Structure 1
Amino acid sequence: MNIFEKLGQVLPLVESPARYMGGEANSVVKDPSKLLARMAFVFPDLYEIGLSNNGLRVLYHVVNRDPELLMEVAFAPWDDMAEQMRKNDIPLYTHATWTPVREFDVVGMSLQTELNFTNVPYVLELAGIAAFSKDRKEEDPLVIAGGPAMANPEPVADFFDAFNIGDGEEMLPHILRTVGECKKRGMSRLEILEEIAKIDGVYVPAFRKVIPGEFGMFVPAEPAKGSYEHTNGVRRIYVPELKKEDYPVKNLIANMRLVHNRYSVEVMRGCTQGCRFCQAGIWYRPCRELPPDDVMDLAKAGLKATGENELGLLSLSTADYKPIEALTDSIIDDAFFDNVDVSLPSIRVSSFGQSLAEKVAALKGGRSGTFAPETGSERLRKMINKTITDEDMYNAAEHAFSSGFNKIKLYTMVGFPTENDEDMEAFCGLIENLVKIGRKYLRGAQISVSMGILIPKSFTALQWAGFMDKDLALAHVQFVHRRFFKHPNVKVTWADWETSRLEAFYSRGDRSISKLIYEAYKRGMIFESDNHRIRPKDWEVLWKDFGYDESWIYETRKKESVFPWDFMHVGVTKAYLWNEYQKGFNPEVFKDAKPVPNCKWGECQHCGIPGNGKEVRLADNPEKYKAPSRTPEEIKKLVAARRPVYDKRYTYKLTFQKLGLSRFLPHQNMLSAFVRTFSKAGIPLRYSEGFSPKPRIINMGALPLGLETVCEILGAETLVLLDLSPENKSKLIEELSAPFPMGMKILDIEPIDYKLSSHFPTSVTYSYQPKEIPADLMQKFIDKKLPIVQNHRGQEIDLNEHICNLKIANGKIFIRVKCNNQGGTASPYPLFGGLMGMENVNSAAALDDASRQFLIRKEEMQFNS
């Protein structure tokens, strides 16, 4: 039995089977015999998190556009699915072809957070691959990693054969081609690693010696020296410019709701504000912007290809994108975006003027703004070079609330060196003043405060600082919380200190902690990025069991300290970062220190990135989509004038099938798939009236999960007449079926002039093909001696009353089951369970679980004429 067939057996037994179905629309499938190299890209977190990740989408696109390379995706299964996989000998598999991950040439991972580290050995062992690279055999795939958490790869270095350090658009295809060429020439595993180690930006841990250093941690024997161009270290690679052709349009269409259901365009990469705590501001230098005309082209093509109705304009600080106002003017000017919710995450308050606020309000479906002042104390903001003032915050709040926003979200931190109660008092004062501004415009205006705890990260000016101890960190959190406890306009939340400590342990750790990570995984401490899964007491036990002293987390480092990550040259030099640390936290220097300006606008700070500012690529205003700047009143008039008026509605009956693993698509996900496909096809649906309008899609009751069907019926009310002429109907059916998962498609569309909701079937025919049909089954039916069974609710079902007809043909059992007055039948699972002699199962739940493993198909619905 292959993986596909085994999944049909186990998916009825797990939560959210849509996570594991595979067969996503827009999947790339290629003939393996024509490929140079194949890669399984394993995202070490849940499906709904991984498939939301824009980096995964970009890499999937840049690899698969090469006809000789292939990338398929896989995700970390939740505990219940992992248990079934182990029990039924199902290795971790890819979603496009249900191929074992271990059969690929390369297994890749993107680590977005250090809290995914214990999931690394978890997914490798589920794939049947040794967790530690030293234990892998010659025929095993090479295991490589990349992603933002690889700003310090040392804690997981023993698990990986190699790392992609930096941007992957050009490097990853290069690595795959090299692996493919080497395997073609019959080179050994060691020889292949030697070849890929020659690629700029590739780190092979086995080839870099480590020695004991400060606090007994392993550090590089040869730290990176020299300039970025002439270093002995591993260089972080960055693409010199953002190119339209490197961005995907036909993203994989998920089988369930994701963390972010939107089509995203990365408008800018890199931020040079110079915040001294910010790792991303160093890791993604220099600043590169995508031209707004390209943003518009990608957005329109991507929204059409995926059927999404939300557009995300992504960057570390979208309001700092040079042509942001001109781009919003272009979006407003284009009728295509009238029904699209456009979001601009990460808005810097000093860039958020009245004009942009009004335009964001016009674009957004929601009415909340997100700002990151990091702290409410101007003293601390100067120290960390967060170059915004309280006045900037008040102006931004004024602009937001006066433009119709009802909430401001503040992302802040505690835990900065020298932080004290006076800083917390200033923090509370800032919040109180923001409330006053909000209440001028709306009595219920909300200020939502989220407090993190500073984790001094690698390649930041604060990498020399220690992590704040628990008592002081929580005292500062509680200072703010007490002030606003039960305040009607303020909600305060904060990060868990133990989780932050664990992240500090991971992000600042060395190669020696891989054995602790592996042991944590073996003790079930996985999915630690989920707040509900963190087990700090178990970590205390684990550290004690290993005799490990984690107190180095709190220690301040010296100038000459060598860090585990010092084998890398990221562009910004260690000397520059030390100088920044001194400016912020040496009182003598700090007295006269001025804020470090944003070099994006021309004043090079000589941080070490080569080019003296020439490497910065800023975008000009749009030309192809050039549009006038409008006032809010003009925008409202414009949108109202071009809003189409529909004076008719049209009702259609769609007959569709769900075969194979698509039978595990839950009811609500299936309805969402129909809404998406009409949107993708540009066919407007009629919506209900009222406070929360819903699309007018009527289904003949929810289909039991795991049941195949070839006769399912759905009604849809459209605002336009569909062309169902013979030459166009099949084309329309094919277009509407395109975004569905494999196995699900529309079979017919026909107009109706009656309410589908009042036209219920009187009976339904189901079929099942068992290995062996009970010899006395037909006689029992004729004699009305079929058993009484229980459904999953414990209700008794007399099969003699429910089954109107029974037929045996071609090794299949066909039963016609009567419907209730709402067109529903008893679940066919316990019905066939009873027919197969399972009526003596004591537990109703056990009966339901066992019978759900039958492959039952809904064959036909009978209606009164």
Structure 2
Amino acid sequence: MTILEKIALALPAVESPARYMGGEANSVVKDHSKMLARMAFVFPDTYEIGMSNNGMRILYHVVNREPDLLCEVAFAPWDDMAKEMERYDIPLYTHASYTPVSEFEVIGITLQTELNFTNVPYVLELSRIPAWQKDRKEEDPIVVAGGPAMANPEPVADFFDAFMIGDGEKVMVQFLRCVGEGRKAGLSRAEILTNLSKIDGVYVPSLRPVVTNKFGAIVPAEPAAGAYATTNGVRRLFIPVMDPKDYPVKNLIANMHLVHNRFSVEVMRGCAQGCRFCQAGIWYRPCRELDPDDVLDIAKAGIKATGERELGLLSLSTADYKPVEALTDSIIDDPFFDTVDVSLPSIRVNSFGQTLAGKIAALKGGRSATFAPETGSERIRKMINKTISDQDMYDAAEHAFSSGFNKIKLYTMIGFPTENEADMQAFCDLIFNLVKIGRKYNRGIQIAVSIGILIPKSFTGLQWAPYMDKETALRHIRYVREKFFKHPNVKINWASWETSFLEAVYSRGDRSLAPVIYEAYKQGIIFESDAYRFDYNKWLAVWEKCGYDTSWVYREREKDEVFPWDFIHAGTTKQYLRREWEKAFDPNSAPVPNCKWGDCQKCGIPGFGAEIKLADDPVRHKAPSRTPEEIKKLVVDRRPSQKVSYSYKITFTKTGISRFLPHQNMLSFFERTFLCAGIPIKFSEGFSPKPRIVNMGALPLGVETYCEIISVDLLQPLDLSPENLPKIKEQLSAPFPRGMEIVNIEPLKEKLSKHFPKAMVYTFTPETVPEGMLERFQAKQLPVVTNHRGQEIDLNEHILELDVQNGTIIAKIKCNNQGATASPFSIFAALMGEPYDPTKLNESSRRYLIRKISIEF
């Protein structure tokens, strides 16, 4: 039995079958036998999180554009699917070819958060690969990790053969070629790892000696020293320019709703604000911007290829993107984006001027603005070099609310060194003043405050700081909560101290954590990024069992202490970060300016400012700057008329693995495909417009269909001439998952609801046809069964015709007044003479591969 056949047996029992179907549209399929090297890119979290990740999309693209290299994706299965995989002997598999992950030369795991660490041994053992690097055999894949959490890879170092430190666009291809050529030459695993360690930016833990320092921490025997260009350490890599050729356009199209359903373009990488708590600001230096003409070209091509209705312009601080207003003007000027929701996340407060606020409000219809003051205390802001004032916040709020925004989201933190109750009061005063500003324009405005807890991370000015104890942290959070208890305009959310504590342990931990992580995984502690899964008491038990003392997180580090991650040269030197730590406590120190606009601060990044690449205004897509009033009028004038529409009946198939596509997901694919084709759909009227798509009753999950029907109302006619019909069927089927395909399109003169079917014909091929079944049907002696809703189904009334041809049972089943039939699973179970248990519907769908082959009107 193939993996795909086993998956089909497993999926009826899981909560979200679409997570595991595979066969995504836009998948790259290559001949494995002709590849120099193949990589299974494993995202160690759920499908809906992984498929939203832009880094995964980029690396999938840069590898697969190489003719002799291959990348396929896989994801961590939820507990229910893991149980079924064990039951049916299914190893972790890739989604494009259903190949076991263990058969690839390289397994790449991206770690976006430390809270995925326990999922590392989980996905490796599901892949039938030893979790520990020391236990792997010659034929096992090389296991490599990358991602932002690799600013300190030491807690998981013993699980990996290698790490890629920094930007991966170029080094990933070098890495795969090194492995492929080594395997081709018959080199041993040790020889391949030695060759990999010579690649700039690659860290092989087994080849770097470690020692134990006086505090009991495992640290590098040879910390990185010297300048970035000549260091003996592992250099964090950064690509010098944002190359549009590295940007994916034809992204994988997910089989279900994701965490972020959008097409994303990274307009800028890096931030030079110099916030002393911010790891990303150091890890992604220097600042490099993508040309806005390229941004627009990539966005349009990507939306056409994926059918997404939201465009995300991504960066650490999008309003700091030099041509942000000119880019916004170009988006507004292009009617292509009229049906696309454009989002500019990560807007810094003192960049949110009146002009940009008004344009964003006009473009988005006025929703919410997101700011990150980090704290309400100007004293603490000075300490962490967050160079915004309370007045900046008030000006930004004035701009936002006067432009029609009705909500401000504030991302803030507590837990900074020297923080006290006076700082909490300043925090509350800031919120009260923002409410006053907002209520001048709309009494129903909301200030949504999210309070995190400082996690002193590696490669920051605060990496010497202790983590705040629980009693103090909760007291500071409680102070703010009580001030706004039941306040109509303020909503306070706060982070879990316990979850943040675990992150603090991970963020600055060493290799002694690996056995603890493995034990936690064995105790079922996985998917820690899901707040509903986190159980601090389980962690306390694991730490006690492993004899692991976590009290070190409360200790302030010594000035010259060697850290576990000090083998990495991040570009920014440790000496610079140490000076930033000291300046934080000097009330007379001047603010560190944004070196993107000001003087080079000599942080250690080579180039002294020349490495910063800023973009100019668009040239090819240059557009006039309009006022918010002009923008609103333009959008209204360009909006297509809904008065005239064209109705079509579309017949399609859902076979193979696509039969597990849920009903709502299937309908969303039709909305997506018309957007890809540039054909506008008619939407319903009212507060929440919906696309005018109607189908003939939802089928139970797992039923193959060769004649599914929907109707759709379009705002422009289709060319259905005999010579064009095959082309348009192929075009509209392109964004569908494997097994789903349009087979016919025809004009519809009346609403589909006026022509509900009278019957549907299903087939099922059992191992043996029950004796006397046809005779019982003729004599009206078929049984009465109860469906999963507790309703009785008299098979003598529901089955209109019954026949057997070449061992296949063919049943015509009548439809109700909504165009749907009773569950074919319950009907065929009864025909087979098996007792039907409605609580075991999943077992039925495993046993019976039922096909709907026709509809009768």
Is 1:715 aligned to 2:743, yes or no?
no
> What is the CA–CA distance in structure 1 between the aligned matches of 2:740 and 2:317, rounded to whole Å?
40
Q: 1:594–1:648: structure 2 CA closer, same or farther, 3 Å change rule? A: same
- TM-superposed deviation, 1:809: 1.2
Shift of 1:8: 1.0
Give the corresponding residue for 1:488. 488
CA distance in 1, matches of 2:769, 2:522: 44
Find 2:795's aligned residue among 793, 799, 803. 799
Equivalent residue letter for 1:12? P
What is the letter of the counterpart of residue 87 of structure 2? K
Aligned with 2:486: secondary structure?
coil
Cα distance in 2, alignment partners of residues 56 and 684 from structure 1: 31
Q: Partners of 2:639 and 2:701 in 1: how far apart?
A: 40
Give deviations 1:572-602, integer Å, cap 9, x for gaps: 00000000000002xxxx1310000011114
Task: Give the corresponding residue for 1:175.
Answer: 175
Counterparts in 2 of 1:592-741, with a 5 A limit?
592-645=588-641, 647-741=643-737
CA distance in 2, matches of 1:447, 1:397: 10
Superposition misfits of 4+ residues, deviation over 4 angstroms: none
1:837 Cα offset (Å): 2.1
**Deviations 1:703-756 (Å, cap 9, x if unpaired)?**
111110001110101111111011111111111110000000111000011111
Aligned-partner Cα distance in 2 for 1:787–1:6: 32
Where do residues 549-564 of structure 1 align in structure 2 (5 Å cutoff)?
549-564=549-564
Q: How does 1:127-138 map to 2 (within 5 A)?
A: 127-138=127-138
Partner of 1:479: 479
Counterpart of 1:41 in structure 2 is: 41
- Aligned residue number for residue 769 of structure 1: 765
Shift of 1:646: 5.0
Mark the CA change 1:847 to 1:229 in structure 2 (over 3 Å): closer, same or farther. closer
Residue 524 of structure 1 aligns with which residue?
Answer: 524
Give the secondary structure class of the aligned counterpart of 2:542: helix
Q: Answer yes or no: is the 8 Å Cα contact 1:651–1:717 preserved in 2.
A: yes
Match of 1:306 in 2: 306
Equivalent residue for 1:106? 106
Residue matched to 1:538: 538
- How far 1:687 moved relative to its partner? 1.0
Answer whether contact 1:833 1:847 (CA < 8 A) is retained. no
Q: 1:849 aligns with which of 830, 843, 847?
A: 843
Cα distance in 1 between the residues matched to 2:54 and 2:841:
43
Deviations 1:368-394 (A, max 9, x none): 000000000000000000000000000
Q: CA deviation at 1:415?
A: 0.2
Equivalent in the alignment of 1:577: 577
* 2:358 paired residue number: 358
TM-score normalised by L of structure 1: 0.98
Asked whether the equivalents of residues 366 and 404 of structure 2 are also in contact (C-alpha less than 8 Å), the reply is no
Structure 2 match to 1:221: 221
Query: Is residue 349 of structure 2 the alignment partner of residue 385 of structure 1?
Result: no
1:817 aligned partner, one-letter code = I
Q: Name the count of aligned residue pairs.
A: 857
Shift of 1:802: 1.4
Shift of 1:644: 3.1
Q: Secondary structure at the match of 1:745?
A: strand
How do 1:768-787 and structure 2 match up within 5 A? 768-787=764-783
1:116-515 alignment, distance < 5 Å: 116-365=116-365, 367-515=367-515
- 1:742-753 counterparts in 2 under 5 A? 742-753=738-749
- Report the Cα distance in structure 1 between the residues aligned to 2:640 and 2:787, rounded to whole angstroms: 49
Q: Does 1:808 align with 2:804?
A: yes
Which stretch shows the higher mean deviation, 682-691 or 513-522? 682-691
Cα offset, 1:294, TM superposition: 0.5
Residue 86 of structure 2: SS of its match in structure 1?
helix
SS of residue paired to 1:461:
coil
SS at match of 2:532: helix
- TM-score by length of structure 2 reads 0.99
> How far apart, CA to CA, are the structure 1 residues paired with 2:429 and 2:845?
62
Structure 2: tracts of 5 or more residues without a match: none
Identity %: 69
Report the CA distance shift for 1:366/1:789 in structure 2 as closer, same or farther (over 3 A).
Answer: farther
For 1:366 and 1:672, locate their aligned partners in 2 and report how far apart those are by CA, in whole Å.
Answer: 26
Listed as ranges, the gaps of 5+ residues in structure 1 are: none
Over aligned residues, Cα RMSD in angstroms? 1.0
Residues 522-556 of structure 1 show CA distances to partners (whole Å, capped at 9, x for unaligned) of 10000000000111001111111122111001110
Distance (Å, rounded) in 1 between the aligned partners of 2:249 and 2:841: 46
> Alpha-carbon deviation of 1:340?
1.1
SS in 2 for 1:462: coil
The change in CA–CA distance for 1:524 and 1:367 in structure 2 (over 3 A counts) is: same
The match for 1:32 is 32
- 3-state SS in 2 of match to 1:329: helix
In the alignment, the residues of structure 1 paired with residue 159 and residue 579 of structure 2 have an alpha-carbon distance, to the nearest angstrom, of 35
Which of 447-456 and 132-141 deviates more?
132-141
In the alignment, residue 507 of structure 1 is paired with which amino acid? Answer: S
* Range that drifts further, 828-837 or 278-287: 828-837
Show the counterpart of 1:832: 828
Counterpart pick for 1:757 among 741, 753, 756: 753
Distance 1:117 1:751, change over 3 A: same
Deviation at 1:214, TM superposition (A): 4.1
The Cα offsets for residues 762-785 of structure 1, whole Å up to 9 and x where unpaired, read as: 111100112222233223323333
Residues 84 and 380 (structure 1), Cα distance of their counterparts in 2 relative to 1, 3 Å cut: same
Matched position secondary structure for 2:230: coil
Contact 1:43 1:74 in 2 (8 A): yes
CA distance in 1, matches of 2:841, 2:396: 60
The answer to whether the 8 A contact 1:792-1:848 is kept is no
Cα distance, 1:801 vs. partner? Answer: 2.1
Contact 1:830–1:848 under 8 Å retained in 2: no
Question: 2:516 touches 2:548 (CA, 8 Å); kept in 1?
Answer: no
Structure 2 counterpart of 1:765, one-letter code: V
SS at match of 1:727: coil
Secondary structure in structure 2 of the residue aligned to 1:672: helix
The 1:483/1:20 distance shift into structure 2, 3 A limit, reads same
Q: Secondary structure at the match of 2:683?
A: coil
User: Secondary structure of the residue that 2:608 maps to in structure 1?
Assistant: coil
1:493-526 Cα offsets, whole Å, 9 max, x none, are: 0000000000111111100110000010010000
Supply the distance in 2 between the matched residues of 1:847 and 1:612 (Cα, whole angstroms). Answer: 67
Partner of 1:95: helix, strand, or coil? coil
Contact 1:343 1:363 in 2 (8 A): no
In 2: Cα distance, 1:95 partner to 1:365 partner: 38
* 2:76 maps to amino acid: A
3-state SS of 1:668 partner = helix
Distance 2:707 2:841 in 1: 26
Q: Which range moved further: 625-634 or 479-488?
A: 625-634
What is the distance in 1 between the residues matched to 2:364 and 2:264? 15
Could you give the per-residue CA deviations for residues 146-192 of structure 1, whole angstroms, max 9, x where no partner exists?
00000000000011000010000000011001111111111111111
CA shift for structure 1 position 851: 4.1
Task: For 1:287, give the aligned amino acid.
Answer: C
Are the structure 2 counterparts of residues 797 and 528 from structure 1 closer, same or farther at C-alpha, using a change threshold of 3 Å? Answer: same
Contact 2:642 2:682 in 1 (8 A): no
Q: Deviations over 1:193-212 (max 9, x none)?
A: 11111100000000011111
Q: Distance in 1 between matches of 2:659 and 2:18?
A: 9
Contact 2:360/2:366, CA 8 A, preserved across alignment: no
* Counterpart residue type for residue 857 of structure 1: R
User: Residues 313 and 345 of structure 2 are in contact (CA less than 8 Å); yes or no, is this contact kept in structure 1?
Assistant: yes
**In the aligned structure 2, how far is the partner of 1:600 from the partner of 1:728?**
53
